[in-house]
Amino acid sequence: MLGAMADFRSAMTKLGRAREHLNRLKEELVEFNESNSLTLRMDKDFDTADKLVRRVVVADFIPPPDSWGPLIGDAVANMRAALDHAVWALVVDDRSDSPSETDARKVQFPIHDTASAFGKDRLLQVANQVVVDAIEQCQPYNDRDDTLTDGHPLETLRALSNIDKHRALHVVSLSPARLGITTTPRLPQNPTMNLPGRELHKGAELATWSAWRPSRGTEVKVEAEATAWIVVRAVPPTLASPVALGVIYGPIVDVVENCIDRLSG
């Protein structure tokens, strides 16, 4: 049975450490959202005789702390290492002796977009066919999820890891996660039209909003509030589009855990 005798504690410890970093990041984001770091204003747009129309604009904004980029990098590094440690456990378990330093350098979890690229990976020189087949089942080209629109989570993990290891710290920005608008007196409101992908900064226009006017002469107070969500900025061509924290904490963590489960049998 694949991985029955292999020791995956190191891999699971690395994955657990990644979760600790991500949980800390989520806790700090909650504190950020509760600290009034983001305030909005409602600017008049093209009011008509029948409608009130407003633009939701960021009035004031405190940028996220510099520590968030390294935290994401640490979480990504631990997830990437968790996969490598799982493969190492399998390769070592399959051998009667310790691998040479030359062979040891070939032992890592490969992430490839095509079967032809996987077939050329140096891991295949040191791992037996059962291990290779199990790892191949985890590859993006064999494990596509049509419900995910931003590519396979392992491809995103690879890009995030390469940027953090070889180029620079991840640059973190914030985008609106939830936008709420209230009126006094309460009015029947038309749907708010969010402007997707807007990065939060002072003066950023987030949405337009409208409501039917009340009876003539009625004063209307319109207020808006929003919560922010963490986004890792794109670094083309390695990372073509921004990556939300929810993608890292959700699909990427899930896929890494599922891969380790497959390898452990």
pLDDT tens per residue, range 66-104: 999 999 999 999 999 999 999 999 998 877 677 889 999
- Look at residue 3 and tell me if it is in a domain: no
1, pLDDT greater than 70? no
Report whether pLDDT(214) > 90.
Answer: no
pLDDT at 161: 96
User: Which range, of 8-12, 135-139, 186-190, 248-252, averages the lowest pLDDT?
Assistant: 186-190
- Predicted pLDDT at 261: 93
Task: Judge whether residue 24 has pLDDT over 90.
Answer: yes
Return the pLDDT at 30: 94
Whether the per-residue pLDDT at 194 is higher than 80: the answer is no
Q: How large is the average pLDDT for residues 123-141?
A: 93
pLDDT of residue 147: 61
Q: How many domains does the chain have?
A: 1
Kindly state the average pLDDT of the residues 126-151: 84
What pLDDT does 132 receive?
94
In a domain, 4, yes or no: no
- Whole-structure pTM value: 0.88
**128 within domain boundaries:** yes
Q: Using 50, 70 and 90 to split pLDDT, how confident is the model at 195? A: low
More confident: 5 or 210: 210
What percentage of the chain exceeds 70 in pLDDT? 93
Q: Return the bridge partners of 235, or none.
A: 239
- Closest by CA to 170, choosing from 20, 17, 25, 23, is 25
Question: Is residue 147 in a domain?
Answer: yes
Does 5 have pLDDT greater than 80?
Answer: no
Residues 6+ apart with CB under 8 A from 142: 136
> Can you give the pLDDT at residue 215?
76
Task: Give me the pLDDT at residue 48, please.
Answer: 76
Please say whether the beta carbons of 79 and 230 come within 8 A. Answer: no
Assess if residue 2 is contained within a domain. Answer: no
Cα separations in angstroms, 164 against 12, 18, 24: 22, 15, 19
**Please, what is the average pLDDT of the chain?**
89
* 1 CB burial (10 A radius; 0-12, 13-18, 19+): exposed
What is the extent of the structural domain holding 199? 9-263
The residue-averaged pLDDT of 228-249 equals 90
The mean per-residue pLDDT over the stretch 146-160 comes to 83
What's the pLDDT score for residue 238? 85
Q: Are 153 and 206 in contact (CB under 8 A)?
A: no
**First-to-final CA distance of the chain:** 7
145 is a domain residue: yes
